[in-house]
Amino acid sequence: MSIIQNIRERAAWLVFGLIALSLIGFLLMDAFVGRSRFFGNRSTVVGTVNGQKIEENDFQKKVNLMENQYKRNGMQINESMQQSIREQVWSKMIEDALFTDDIQALGLDVTDKEVSDMLVGPNAIPDIRQAFTDKKTGVFDANAAAQRINQMRSLWKAGPKKNGDNSQYEMSRSFFEESVPEIVKMRLQEKYMALLTNSVYTPKFLIEKSNADNSQIASISFVNTPYYTVSDSTIKVSDDEIQEYVNEHKDRFHQDESRSIAYVLFDASPTPDDSAKLHQQLADMKADFIKSNNPDQFLSRMQSDIPYEDVFVPKSQSHIPARDSIYALPKGQVYGPYLDAGSYVLAKMVDEKVLPDTVKARHILVATIDPQTQQPTLPDSIAKKRIDSIKNVLEHGASWDSVALKVSDDPGSKEKGGVYDNITFQTQFIPEFKDFVFNGKKGEARIVKTSFGYHYIQIMDQKNFEPAYKIAQLSKKIETSTETDNAASGLASKFAGENQDGKNFDQAVQKQGLQKLLAPDITPSEYSIPALGANRQLIKWIYEAKLGEVSEPFPVGDKYVVAQLTEINSEGTATPRKARAQVEPILRNKKKADVIIKKLNNPATLEAAAAASAQTIMHADSITFNGTAIPNVGMEPKVQGAAFNKQLAGKPASPPIAGNGGVFVIKVENVSATSNPNADLQQQRFMQEQQEKNMLSRMLMYSLRKNAKIKDDRAKFY
């Protein structure tokens, strides 16, 4: 018994020791992978520009700010839009970082007086100028702008309330802590650009020389021996030759970090059986749909993809499929299920009546919110009393035009007496407004409450009466069943599990009759792959995988993807294999030119060149010095330049010229000049300087980026 007890005690200590070692190992592992809460060494830097760090928090703040701006403008933020926003923010933060060093070195600054001028002065920025410009007079109200900004400053300085609505504080904080610094930064960059662009100068003699050159016109005779007369199979271009060319033109062959994959797809789209099951499901709902007295609640309970809209739509403006069959239904009956763009639909005739398709109406609005900021502007009780007073005044004979101009809060109609003409069902109007003007009678006037405030509306005219219908649609998208999805997922998993290297991958593709697809040059921060769509998880795998590795299945849309990493390209100069597609045609034509020139054997005349190359003598008139192409030949700048070479004037033939499309031998027949006595040299100088300033602005950022050390680590975070 004592022996057994001794074993138990020793075993207990052994177990405790193993647990302790496991915990220590777990903590150390957590620390070394950079995500430990205890050691706190997870990087927060999404990138660097010339050693200047860009913090994840700062980057994400700016992304969120831009996303909110898009949302306020009614735009949907999907994955593709989110990626676009991130790229815009990233590019802007790089530009800001690149400008900062030069701006500081130059000692540029923005004074408080300049900031005031950009906010409330004659040079106010466009957003502020637009917000405080009188719509009627077009005059910017600097006092109103200053008053509002001072009010926001007070709210910002006071800080957030402990309890209550802090929306006004947040707006003020955002303005002074985010918007104003951006305005200052913009002004600094404008000063920086002005220093450069104002240094542009074009001397008069340069314009005169350019005019003289551009006035020249040449005519030539020539023999062209195209490169295609030498067979490609006779010309070999080695990797060493490509490498040499790349080394001599490194700027043209810089490549960013990228990776390439091959992949196969396993279809998980809905099958005919999935479609048939959904059709039967809707058919089974038909009786309940007919019995239902509340279409809105029924569609909501059945989770219809098309919500119920309690409005009448004129027959001529309806685009419902099978509408003739639906409109022939008695009230309360249901048509379907029928197919509509990937969905099955039941359509119920809720109601029908005769309505106009076009309405003319006028209104006066007393707003309770600001449509731009969605902030309250007037208490509801005061707005109601005000609209009642307006109604009373108008009913006692006051002029709509004058009352609307003086008191209406609708800038789109107040100067027209509140009138809106040609309102149709497609016109973007608030629902309560449209409901009254289409369902009311001509001459009728009523106070209508909407989310904007209180309207007093009068129906002035209604035209083109026709049948209109109120239809409820129970719509269900045809989706992949669990069985179909599991089958596709199973096939993809089996393929991935059995083919874990490149050789097996290719053999299995052939054996199973699959199509092997390619996705080249995927960069670390991309969110979508051409022809596949958005899948950030797949791209993350691509940058974690080893060369030749095969992935587990990734769901992309209605398919499963199994990918193999086929290529890893580091940032730097392209390899001969990567550059071959671009360089090989250039070097091949260069070698073909040597063959053709040797065959021509320094011809003394065009006739000799034509005989040696079995080509005909051709002619080109009206070749201009600044022209973009030679008639019937194309882009041949070397030939174009030779046409104005004074050393070739009077000679029976030029030396062979290796051009873009072939080897040319030319004879300059004539060079003349046209005059332009009406040329405005001053205007030409101005235009030339403007072009150079615009080019300088574009080239500046290109140059700064090219010479900067930029590291993009966003792929580790998103």
Residue-by-residue DSSP string for 692-710:
HHHHHHHHHHHHHHHHS-E
Per the structure block, which two tokens stand in for 588?
């091949």
CA distances in angstroms from 651 to 599, 606, 621, listed in the order given: 21, 10, 18
SS (H, E, C) 569-592: ECCEECCHHHHHHHHHHHHHHHHH
The reported pLDDT for the residue numbered 616 is: 94
**How would residue 42 be classed by pLDDT, with cut points 50, 70 and 90?**
low
State the Cα–Cα distance between residues 540 and 524, nearest whole angstrom: 8
Cβ(475)–Cβ(345) below 8 Å: yes
Cβ(672)–Cβ(255) below 8 Å: no
Beta-bridge partners for 351: 470
SS (H, E, C) 430-476: CHHHHHHHHHCCCCCEEEEEECCEEEEEEEEEEEEEEEEEEEEEEEE
Across the range 82-103, mean pLDDT stands at 88
**How would residue 665 be classed by pLDDT, with cut points 50, 70 and 90?**
very high
Cβ(673)–Cβ(217) below 8 Å: yes
The reported pLDDT for the residue numbered 9 is: 40
What is the torsion angle, in degrees rounded to the nearest 10, for the CA atoms of residue 408, residue 414, residue 417 and residue 421?
-120
What is the torsion angle, in degrees rounded to the nearest 10, for the CA atoms of residue 351, residue 356, residue 360 and residue 362?
-20
How does strand 313-314 pair with strand 334-340?
unpaired
State the Cα–Cα distance between residues 652 and 221, nearest whole angstrom: 10
State the Cα–Cα distance between residues 287 and 569, nearest whole angstrom: 62
Cβ(97)–Cβ(186) below 8 Å: no
Whether the pLDDT of residue 329 is over 90: the answer is yes
Cα 584–Cα 590–Cα 596 angle in degrees, nearest 5: 135
**How would residue 8 be classed by pLDDT, with cut points 50, 70 and 90?**
very low
| Lowest-confidence segment of 17-31, 121-135, 328-342 by average pLDDT | 17-31
Per the structure block, which two tokens stand in for 485?
């999805």
Cβ(235)–Cβ(228) below 8 Å: no
Q: How many CB atoms lie within 10 A of CB 284?
A: 10
Cβ(279)–Cβ(271) below 8 Å: no
**How would residue 680 be classed by pLDDT, with cut points 50, 70 and 90?**
confident
Across the beta sheet with 559-569, what order do the strands follow? 517-522, 258-267, 559-569, 554-556
Highest mean pLDDT among 115-124, 168-177, 453-462: 453-462
The reported pLDDT for the residue numbered 31 is: 39
| Lowest-confidence segment of 8-12, 136-140, 644-648 by average pLDDT | 8-12
Across the range 33-56, mean pLDDT stands at 69
Mean model confidence pLDDT for the chain: 87
User: Quick one: DSSP state of residue 501?
Assistant: S
Beta strands in 368-452 (DSSP E): 419-423, 445-450
CA distances in angstroms from 509 to 255, 261, 262, 334, 338, listed in the order given: 31, 14, 11, 49, 39
3-state secondary structure of 335: strand
State the Cα–Cα distance between residues 81 and 593, nearest whole angstrom: 49
3-state secondary structure of 178: helix
Cβ(302)–Cβ(285) below 8 Å: yes
Ordered structural domains, the chain, with CATH: 1-42 (no CATH), 112-197 (no CATH), 216-254+577-673 (no CATH), 257-269+480-570 (3.10.50.40), 274-477 (3.10.50.40)
- Give Dmax (Cα) for the chain: 124
Q: Is the dihedral of CA 580, 582, 585, 588 positive or negative?
A: negative
Helix and strand numbers (H, E) in the chain are: 23, 21
- Is the preceding peptide bond at 337 cis, omega within 30 degrees of 0? yes
Q: In this predicted model, which residue has the larger pLDDT, 71 or 417?
A: 417
**How would residue 21 be classed by pLDDT, with cut points 50, 70 and 90?**
very low
Per the structure block, which two tokens stand in for 44?
């927060």
For residues 97-133, one letter each, b for 16 or more C-beta atoms within 10 angstroms of the residue's C-beta and e for the rest, the string is bbbbeebeeeebebeeebeebbbbbeebeeebbeebb
Q: How many CB atoms lie within 10 A of CB 275?
A: 16
Residue indicated by tokens 């700027």: 251
Residues in the chain, overall count:
718
Across the range 202-216, mean pLDDT stands at 88
The reported pLDDT for the residue numbered 372 is: 65
| Lowest-confidence segment of 260-269, 479-488, 502-511 by average pLDDT | 502-511
For residues 138-174, one letter each, b for 16 or more C-beta atoms within 10 angstroms of the residue's C-beta and e for the rest, the string is eebbbeebeeebeebeebbeeeeeeeeeeebbeebbe
**How would residue 348 be classed by pLDDT, with cut points 50, 70 and 90?**
very high
| Lowest-confidence segment of 140-144, 374-378, 420-424, 608-612 by average pLDDT | 374-378
Per the structure block, which two tokens stand in for 480?
């992949």
Q: Which residues contact 410 (CB under 8 A, 6 or more apart)?
A: 363, 364, 365, 367, 418
Q: Per-residue pLDDT tens for 376-404?
A: 888 999 999 999 999 999 999 999 999 99
Report the amino acid identity of residue 133. Answer: T
Residue 322 gets the label, from left (phi > 0), alpha (psi -120 to 50) or beta, of: left
Cβ(290)–Cβ(332) below 8 Å: yes
Q: How many CB atoms lie within 10 A of CB 345?
A: 23
Across the range 675-703, mean pLDDT stands at 85
Per the structure block, which two tokens stand in for 643?
């046409």
SS (H, E, C) 409-420: CCCCCHHHCCEE
- What is the pTM (predicted TM-score) of this model? 0.63
Helix (H) or strand (E) holding 626: none
Across the range 35-58, mean pLDDT stands at 73
Beta strands in 609-674 (DSSP E): 617-624, 657-658, 662-673
Q: In this predicted model, which residue has the larger pLDDT, 370 or 576?
A: 576
Helix (H) or strand (E) holding 344: strand 343-367
Across the range 148-161, mean pLDDT stands at 87
Q: Which residues contact 427 (CB under 8 A, 6 or more apart)?
A: 434
The reported pLDDT for the residue numbered 241 is: 96
Q: In this predicted model, which residue has the larger pLDDT, 643 or 29?
A: 643
The reported pLDDT for the residue numbered 373 is: 63
3-state secondary structure of 239: helix
Helix (H) or strand (E) holding 363: strand 343-367
Q: Per-residue pLDDT tens for 104-152?
A: 888 999 998 998 998 888 888 888 888 888 766 778 888 888 888 888 8
The reported pLDDT for the residue numbered 679 is: 74
State the Cα–Cα distance between residues 651 and 659, nearest whole angstrom: 20
Cβ(275)–Cβ(338) below 8 Å: no
Cβ(560)–Cβ(489) below 8 Å: yes
Cβ(457)–Cβ(408) below 8 Å: no
3-state secondary structure of 679: coil
Whether the pLDDT of residue 25 is over 50: the answer is no
